[in-house]
Amino acid sequence: MTKQRSKTGRTRGSNRPKSYMRASEREQFILDEAVRFFAEHGFEGQTRELAKRMGITHSAIYRHFPSKEALIERVYEHIFLSRWNSDWGQLIRDRERPLEARLTDFYLQYADRVFHYDWVRIFVFSGLKGFGLTQRYLELVRSQIIDPACLELRHELGLPGTDQYPLSERETELLWGLHGRIFYLAIRRFVYVTPTPECLETTVRDGVKTFMSGGPEVVRSMMSESSIDRSGSARSRATGKRPKSAAARGRARE
């Protein structure tokens, strides 16, 4: 059968099973087709329709997966976890290289791994329907990439560590902003189906460079404010006076 390419860029061909498959082959076949099916229809898609699409009985699905939820969990493992590189955390922490180079390498690799029709659409559908897959994945991103990158930025700037100043929401939001900027390209390409650069390398490099041109100054400012607030609190405890807020300090300088 001649394969056809859809408007989204996916290649479509025959999705019928071979006349004979071992149990492991049939399970993998069902999983692969479930990925395609959920990417197109979301998790509201019915397993009866999936079975019809594959040319197998509805009960055949449940011989391999005890429930729809179990099938969705396997989709998560197959789509998300299999494409996560366990070396990425170490890449971010490698202080032998400038942070800009580390972030650039990470996002180039990340885009290559996750900028795919099935991955992006299942990620979005999961978030919309509250299945928890998206939240679990983003927690992995936070713990392995976002928080470590914040710490590495402090180290590169010669700023105190978390033993003195815990990571703030403002700091982590700076990194989430960079992450979101890169991933939004995938949303435009596979969800909105609008034009995006064919080669992402330049766009990724520009995004990281823009972050590094402004992010460090913002973090320095945050740490300076935190230091002033702490010293003010210490003085107030010693004198019994309440410390001035940042706004009050600003008015006093006017």
Place of tokens 């935190």: 226
Closest CA to 205 of 187, 181, 172: 181
pLDDT of residue 232: 47
Mean pLDDT of 14-22: 64
C-alpha R_g of the chain: 24
> Could you give the CA distance from residue 190 to residue 5 in angstroms, rounded to a whole number?
14
User: Which of the four pLDDT bands, split at 50, 70 and 90, describes residue 225?
Assistant: confident
Q: Give the rounded percent of residues in the chain with a pLDDT score beyond 90.
A: 74
pLDDT of residue 84: 96
User: Which of the four pLDDT bands, split at 50, 70 and 90, describes residue 249?
Assistant: very low
Give backbone dihedrals phi and psi of 163, rounded to 5 degrees, phi first. -65, -25
For residue 108, give Cα distances in angstroms to 6, 105, 114: 26, 5, 10
What is the CA 111 to chain-centroid distance, rounded?
10
Mean pLDDT of 213-231: 84
What is the location of CATH 1.10.357.10 in the chain?
A: 14-79
Q: pLDDT tens digits for 85-106?
A: 999 999 999 999 999 999 999 9
Mean pLDDT of 198-220: 97
Fold of 14-79: Tetracycline Repressor; domain 2 (1.10.357)
pLDDT of residue 11: 45
Looking at per-residue confidence, does 229 or 138 come out higher? Answer: 138
The β-bridge partners of 4 are 12
Calculate helix-pair angle for 201-239, 99-114, nearest 10 degrees.
130
Closest CA to 179 of 235, 89, 118, 103: 103
> Could you give the CA distance from residue 130 to residue 135 in angstroms, rounded to a whole number?
9
The DSSP string of 56-111 is S-HHHHHHH-SSHHHHHHHHHHHHTGGG--TTHHHHHH-TTS-HHHHHHHHHHHHH
User: How many Cβ atoms from other residues are within 10 Å of residue 180's Cβ?
Assistant: 11
Instruction: Report the amino acid identity of residue 105.
Output: D
For residue 206, give Cα distances in angstroms to 39, 96, 154: 30, 22, 21
pLDDT of residue 234 exceeding 70, the answer is no
Mean pLDDT of 23-44: 94
pLDDT of residue 100: 99
Long-range contacts of 167-173 (CB under 8 A, 24+ apart): 168/222, 168/226, 170/218, 170/222, 171/219, 171/222, 172/142, 172/146, 172/147
92 token code pair = 């971010």
This prediction has a pTM of: 0.80
